[in-house]
Amino acid sequence: MRLKIENIKENPVSLLRRAGYTFQRKEGDEMSFVRPLARSGYPRFHMYSHLEGLSLVINFHLDQKRETYGEGTRHHGEYEESGALQVEAERIQKILV
């Protein structure tokens, strides 16, 4: 799911921390954040964000469980713009706008 927050006036890391996200890492211009929904770390919302001028662009999904790699690689993520992702998008917008 993709969100665009226009005309931010604060550091993106601070904004997303206010929304309950923890900074993970930065690769180039893109920053990774997570918001676990359980003590085990999964399921969790996982987002990648970057700046476009004064706008914060967020792409996020729901990781149901830790990824598995090897033969038959699977990621176990939800990307559909409905259900839990839609509720989380609305929550983020209320906090950041």
- Is pTM beyond 0.75? Reply is yes
Residue 30: closest CA among 56, 8, 5:
56
Question: Quick count: other Cβ atoms within 10 Å of Cβ 61?
Answer: 18
- What is the domain extent for residue 25? 2-96
- Work out how many domains the chain is built from and give that number: 1
10-residue block means of pLDDT along the chain (97 residues)? 94 95 96 95 94 96 76 62 89 91
